[in-house]
């Protein structure tokens, strides 16, 4: 049976196509809240120098387009009603409009710099649909992207009768006491409005992964407490970095991280990059000085499937780590970190493609010589570095004399990061310095890399344990047993802090 033949009281669904023309005619002037977003948008994006892309979900007839385009944005509008979108196309010829439900956005991950939602999310029928919509917004936003939206302030006196009726309907299993029904238009078509509070909106945005959340209203063009205006406004950001056991990780794909390496190698400033994995996080947890050094990294990439799991677990509502680990083992995908970035692969591909002069520090002379043969003449110097501490000045002079702009240090953690932190300022020519662990040995064939099936399924640690049980046993067991336990302890601590607040 078509849902249109089922009473509204059983479905909560409104056919917006039935009043699209009347709806469009009443939506001509922008709200004060839209102008407020324009100011926020200018503050967030005008300094970037690029043309940001904005998705306006529940765009209606596109009345916000003018304001958004005035600040140099490229805007895409989305609405569930085909008739309303046709009105938008007539009013804004040549602009990009899409007919789609908000709960399943038809766009690739990380497609937009900002998302706006003016009075649209409150019309979704269930809390699950609202969560799914904000999770979809999170997915299609780029790291650092923002979501800005409004919801009617239904706590006002004029909605007293609708609230009373909602309380009576709340006895039904599929109705919420905050689901208000307000007839709309000349035909008095019933329409659902969910009543939000500051607390419920905050919780919804946090659950979807957003941070830097601000809930407010706009009164006489100025920011005011959330319950003072006709509309409740919310503003939140998708994080650029995620922390696991106080170690930061950039939200990057492999290709994005590689591009950052290329740009850093040619920049005028020095860049310190790290490739932490669960073992390194555990070392940092027990060594505040090392944790501090890792926090100073300009680029920090997630080298380990355990990091991807921990990022999801720490920022989700799930409490049981074993079920979470099991679910992640099947999914092998993180909501927060797009992919695992292997430091050894990053080192190999960078050295194969770059034409910037590179210095290799660490391992043995034989291994370094093999790397030079594989990568070519742009490897301008090598040193095993395994001399006494007094030999540090000699190494620094050798690197400076080589003319290298990129330095890879393979001392292993935490020695390599401490060395870079201590000596980078003494190396004025170096633009990019990276700690890469055993990468030289992998390239030279001294250590065997795990077969592809082990790498893509996240079981590379098992391969290393089988090859070198004595050498790696303690550290690997720490990573696969102590690491999840430490992550859960951190999660429990954060939950306790939230309860205290």
| pLDDT at residue 343 is higher than 50 | yes
- What is the token pair recorded at 158? 């004029």
Cα 53 to the center of its chain, rounded Å: 17
Burial (Cβ within 10 Å: 0-12, 13-18, ≥19) of residue 197: middle
pLDDT digits (tens, 9 = 90+) for 31-56: 888 888 888 887 777 666 678 999 99
Pairwise CA distance, residues 10 & 2, whole Å: 13
Residue 372 or 467, more confident: 372
Model confidence band, residue 7 (pLDDT cutoffs 50, 70, 90): confident
SS3 category, 285: helix
Percentage with pLDDT > 70 across the chain: 89
Q: Is 56 helix (H, G, I), strand (E, B) or coil?
A: strand
pLDDT of 120 > 60? The answer is: yes
- Taking domain 3-239, whether its CATH number is 3.40.50.150 is answered by yes
User: What pLDDT was estimated at residue 2?
Assistant: 46
What's the pTM?
0.87
pLDDT given for residue 226 in this prediction: 94
pLDDT band at 8; cut points 50, 70, 90: confident
Q: Give the pLDDT confidence of 60-73 residue by residue, as tens digits.
A: 988 888 888 887 88
Q: Is the pLDDT of residue 211 over 70?
A: yes
Which of 382-391, 429-438, 474-483 has the lowest average pLDDT?
Answer: 474-483
**Element (H or E) spanning 348, and its range?**
helix 343-353
Domain coordinates of the chain in residue numbers?
Answer: 3-239, 243-444
Tens-digit pLDDT profile for residues 442-476: 898 876 665 666 555 556 655 565 666 665 656 66
Distance CA(279)–CA(486), nearest Å, equals 12
Query: Which among 417, 275, 411 is positioned nearest to 347, based on CA atoms?
Result: 275
């Amino acid at each position: 049976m078509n849902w249109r033949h089922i009473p509204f009281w059983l479905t909560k669904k409104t056919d917006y196509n039935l009043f699209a023309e009347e709806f469009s005619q009443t939506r001509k002037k922008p709200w004060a809240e839209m102008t407020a977003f324009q100011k926020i948008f200018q503050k967030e994006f005008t300094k970037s120098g690029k043309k940001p892309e904005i998705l306006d979900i529940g765009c209606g007839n596109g009345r916000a387009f003018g304001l958004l385009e005035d600040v140099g944005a490229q805007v895409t509008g989305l609405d569930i009603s085909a008739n309303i979108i046709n009105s938008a196309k007539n009013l804004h010829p040549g602009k990009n409009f899409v007919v789609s439900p908000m709960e399943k956005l038809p766009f690739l991950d990380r497609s937009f710099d900002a998302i706006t939602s003016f009075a649209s999310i409150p019309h979704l029928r269930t809390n699950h649909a609202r969560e799914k919509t904000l999770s979809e917004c999170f997915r299609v936003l780029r790291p650092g992207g923002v979501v800005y939206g409004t919801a009617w302030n239904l706590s006002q006196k004029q909605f007293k009768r609708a609230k009373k009726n909602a309380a009576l309907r709340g006895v039904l299993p599929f109705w919420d006491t905050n689901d208000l029904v307000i007839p709309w238009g000349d035909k008095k078509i019933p329409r659902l409005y969910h009543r939000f509070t500051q607390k419920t909106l905050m919780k919804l945005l946090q659950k979807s992964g957003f941070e830097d959340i601000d809930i407010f209203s706009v009164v006489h063009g100025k920011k005011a407490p959330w319950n003072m205006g006709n509309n409740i406004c919310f503003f939140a950001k998708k994080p650029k970095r995620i922390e696991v056991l106080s170690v930061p990780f950039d939200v990057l794909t492999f290709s994005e991280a590689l591009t950052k390496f290329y740009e850093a190698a040619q920049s005028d400033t020095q860049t310190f990059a790290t490739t932490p994995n669960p073992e390194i996080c555990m070392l940092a947890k027990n060594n505040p000085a090392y944790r501090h050094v890792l926090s100073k990294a300009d680029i920090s990439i997630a080298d380990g499937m355990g990091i991807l799991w921990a990022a999801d677990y720490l920022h989700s509502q799930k409490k049981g780590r074993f079920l979470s680990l099991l679910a992640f083992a099947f999914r092998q995908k993180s909501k927060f970190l797009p992919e695992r970035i292997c430091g050894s692969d990053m080192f190999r591909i960078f050295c194969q493609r770059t034409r910037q002069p590179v210095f290799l520090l660490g391992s043995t002379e034989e291994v370094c010589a093999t790397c030079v043969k594989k990568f070519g003449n742009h490897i301008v110097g090598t040193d095993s570095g395994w001399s006494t501490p007094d030999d540090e000045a000699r190494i620094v002079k050798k690197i400076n004399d080589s003319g290298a702009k990129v330095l890879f240090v393979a001392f292993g953690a935490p020695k390599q990061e401490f060395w870079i932190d201590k000596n980078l300022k003494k190396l004025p020519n170096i633009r990019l310095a990276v700690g890469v662990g055993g990468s030289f040995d992998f390239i030279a064939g001294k250590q065997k890399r795990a077969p592809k099936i082990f790498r893509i399924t996240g079981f590379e640690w098992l391969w290393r344990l089988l090859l070198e049980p004595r050498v790696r046993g303690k550290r690997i067991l720490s990573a696969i047993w102590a690491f999840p336990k430490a992550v859960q302890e951190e999660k429990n601590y954060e939950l306790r802090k939230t309860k205290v607040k």
